[in-house]
């Protein structure tokens, strides 16, 4: 129960952090709110929404169920946007250090909004649906991101906010088997494929992707059809509802960043160990080098290196290491900070991520994290902490 409480506390803390700008506003509800309540979910504030942090089975069981069968997540609090028009891809490239122009139809790509100092404003997903791009942004940054796109892209393409759609994620090794019962064509999709799929007679935008490290799908569905689809998926014996608590522990085990914690406006993608996300055509020797906010800073970081880097961390004790804990070296000198931390149910051990001086970023480097005034031994570790199981065909 202590481990479960750790995850639970982390999510509550993150929810408060992400809800700061909405503190005086009533909590918004997703189209699945009534379903969550009927299933016995514990609802908490998260990024301005009332969201399920866990169901009666508890976070540990939800986590394990997703790793072994299939979990259904409500992520309808995230922002969904169409960018429509022949110049949409070229326009979006002015805001992200990513190759959008050459993104094949039917594929999705991870991207980052950067600012003028090379920091990350948000991370997002971009899918090419042929006559339009489908963009999904984080809930806490939704208003900012939509305004950013409207300000900078509206002159070249239509920015269409999809307020009338919900977003579900079906994740886990049984996800493909379950969803293929409703639409056989999804079984042929591979990681990061995107497709318009008919589910229960409704047109849905489906990608084979997710935020757990497991195989799975994200499904954009009309809001008024979301509960029917969720209930249908939950009727399959492999599927259980999963809350934000397990979503956080799953993504942490998978070594995936949480915006506002592992990524922020003062940290570049290079410092964040996201060099892989910076497309080669947008780098210094690429066909369309630069041309996005903070390009000079980011390209300089690629060329010259950085003083700190995001790394995985494994505490060498059962003590969880939380976000904000200082990282020190053998001499007691502060050399970094923890940005995400908690219990990894699959590993049955604590895991964390954070930033350390680049000279100390090598896997196996022994350090300590300060927990309640006492040093806890930790070690720099490679991520993901558990193998990612994306289906690549």
Distance CA 179, CA 71 (A): 12
CA atoms within 13 Å, Cβ hemisphere of 341: 26
Distance CA 1, CA 389 (A): 28
3-class DSSP state for residue 206? strand
Q: Please list, in sequence order, all residues whose beta carbon lies within 8 angstroms of the beta carbon of residue 294, skipping any fewer than 6 positions away.
A: 114, 115, 116, 117, 118, 119, 268
271 is in an annotated binding site: no
Distance CA 7, CA 246 (A): 8
The end-to-end CA distance of the chain, in Å, is 39
**Both tokens of residue 362?**
């090598």
Rg over alpha carbons for the chain, rounded to the nearest Å, is 20
3-class DSSP state for residue 231? helix
The binding site for substrate consists of: 218
The binding site consists of: 218
């Amino acid at each position: 129960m202590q481990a479960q409480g750790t995850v639970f506390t982390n999510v509550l803390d993150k929810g408060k952090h992400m809800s700061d700008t909405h503190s005086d506003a009533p909590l918004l509800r997703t189209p699945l709110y009534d379903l969550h309540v009927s299933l016995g979910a514990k609802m908490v504030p998260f990024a301005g929404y009332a969201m399920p942090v866990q169901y009666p089975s508890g976070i540990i069981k939800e986590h394990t169920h997703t790793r072994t069968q299939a979990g259904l997540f409500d992520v309808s609090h995230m922002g969904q946007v169409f960018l429509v028009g022949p110049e949409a891809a070229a326009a979006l490239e002015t805001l992200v250090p990513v190759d959008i122009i050459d993104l094949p139809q039917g594929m999705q790509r991870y991207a980052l909004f950067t600012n003028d100092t090379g920091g990350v404003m948000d991370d997002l997903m971009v899918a090419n649906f042929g006559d339009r791009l489908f963009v999904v942004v984080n809930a806490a940054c939704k208003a900012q991101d939509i305004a950013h796109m409207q300000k900078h892209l509206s002159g070249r393409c239509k920015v269409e906010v999809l307020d009338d759609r919900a977003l579900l994620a079906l994740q886990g090794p049984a996800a493909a088997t379950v969803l293929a019962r409703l639409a056989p064509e999804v079984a042929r999709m591979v990681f990061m494929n995107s497709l318009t799929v008919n589910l229960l007679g409704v047109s849905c935008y489906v990608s084979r992707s997710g935020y757990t490290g497991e195989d799975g799908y994200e499904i954009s569905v009309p809001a008024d059809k979301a509960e029917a689809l969720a209930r249908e998926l939950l009727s399959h014996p492999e599927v259980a509802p999963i809350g934000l608590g397990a979503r956080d522990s799953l993504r942490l085990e998978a070594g995936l960043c949480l915006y506002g914690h592992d990524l922020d406006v003062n940290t570049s993608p290079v410092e964040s160990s996201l060099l892989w996300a910076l497309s080669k055509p947008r780098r210094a020797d690429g066909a369309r080098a630069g041309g996005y906010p903070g390009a000079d800073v980011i390209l300089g970081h690629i060329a010259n290196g950085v003083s700190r880097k995001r790394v995985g961390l494994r505490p060498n004790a059962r003590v969880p290491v939380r976000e904000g804990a200082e990282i020190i070296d053998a001499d007691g000198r502060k050399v970094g900070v923890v940005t995400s931390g908690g219990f990894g149910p699959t590993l049955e051990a604590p895991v964390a991520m954070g930033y350390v001086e680049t000279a100390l970023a090598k896997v196996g480097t022994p350090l300590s994290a300060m927990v309640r005034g006492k040093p806890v031994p930790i070690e720099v570790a490679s991520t993901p902490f558990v193998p990612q199981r994306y289906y690549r065909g």
